[in-house]
Amino acid sequence: MSTIDTAPHRPGPRAWAALVAAEGKMVVRDTAGLIIPLGLPLLILVMNGMGVFGEASVGGVSVFELYVMPLVLTIVIATVGVVNMPSFLAYYRRTHVLRRLAVTPAHPGMILTAQVVVSLVQSLVGVALAVTAAMLFFDVGVPDRLGAALAVFGLAALTMYALGLLVAAVAPTGNAAVAIGLTLFFALGATGGMFGPTDNLPAPLAAVGESLPFGAAVQAMGRAWADMDQNPAHLVAMGAAILVSTAVAVRFFRWE
């Protein structure tokens, strides 16, 4: 039996960078896939903006800052995390891209990381677009508690990626991943204020929606923007969603 002297070798930083670049090109070249994360938030911003601009404030706080901006940012991270990422992963699984990578030194875990990095960049571009437009056209200011807003945004983004990994893990096919992702997105969105203030919902439903990831993210970001103290329940809700989703995703994830 001949043996080899090869030391274990794991792909280095260049390989990680190459994989991130590859995933980035996949996303950028899938032009249709960019419309939703980048275009939809702008649309919602403009529609809501024209509705509430200049008139509404609650106790001296602009509705735009308390409600519209957090909603738009949450939509960005939720579409990227819950809808786009799992559909890419399911597509890779169906076409055996992951299987091909599994026989190279690239640990398939690198793919997940690259996906999250690329998703994060997409989210940041979407957010930058939305915030710039809001500042230019609707007179929205920087969040009153900038640090808190950034921290809450980061937590909310992680929550959405964790949900996305969960969808990718349990969906049997690429189509199912898109269907489950969209259903989850609209269910969370509807109970979390995407189609109008949660005050319009029946009280129990509004309460549930507020403790689900989408609603919790909107509420927590709104509070940071409008100089209000955080409600621990929102943060706990997002933390719990991250832990549960990640645990289930890791347990059920399949490379092929």
Partner 1 sequence: MDAIEVRGLHKRYGDTVAVEDVSLSVEAGEIYGVLGRNGAGKSTTVEAVAGLQRPDRGEVRVFGLDPRRDRNRLRQVLGVQLQDAALHAALTVRELVRLYRSFYRDGADPEELIEHVGLTGQRRTRFEHLSGGQQQRLNIALALVGDPRAVVLDELTTGLDPEARRHMWATVEGLRDRGVTVVLVSHHMEEVERLCDRVALIERGRVAAVDTPEGLVARAGLEQVVRFRTAAPFDPAVLDRVEEVRSVRTVGDQVVATGSGNLLHAVSTALVKADVVALDTRFERATLEDAFLSLTGSPFDDASGSER
Return residues touching partner 1 (CB under 8 A).
1-4, 6-11, 14-15, 18-19, 22, 25-26, 29-30, 95-97, 99-100, 102-106
Q: Give the nearer residue to partner 1 in terms of CB position, either 178 or 217.
A: 178
* Percent helix / strand / coil, the chain, rounded to 5: 75, 0, 20
DSSP assignment letter at 71? H
35 or 150: whose CB is closer to partner 1? 35
CB closer to partner 1, 1 vs 203:
1
Residue 171: CB minimum distance to partner 1, A: 18
Residue type, 12: G
Q: How far is the CB of 107 from partner 1 (least distance, A)?
A: 8
State whether residue 62 is helix, strand or coil. Answer: strand
Closest contact distance (angstroms) between CB of 194 and partner 1 is: 30
CB of 254 to partner 1, least distance (A): 13
CB closer to partner 1 out of 51 and 100: 100
Contacts of 39 (CB under 8 A, 6+ apart): none
95 token code pair: 């076409």
The answer to whether 77 and 123 have CB atoms below 8 angstroms apart is yes
DSSP code for 227: T
Nearest distance from C-beta of residue 22 to partner 1, angstroms: 5
Q: In which element (H, E) is residue 207 found?
A: helix 203-210
CA distance 69 to 111: 32
> Whose Cβ is closer to partner 1: residue 92's or residue 185's?
92
- In three-state secondary structure terms, 61 is strand
Of 10 and 251, which has the nearer Cβ to partner 1? Answer: 10
Give me the least distance between CB of 256 and partner 1, in Å please: 8
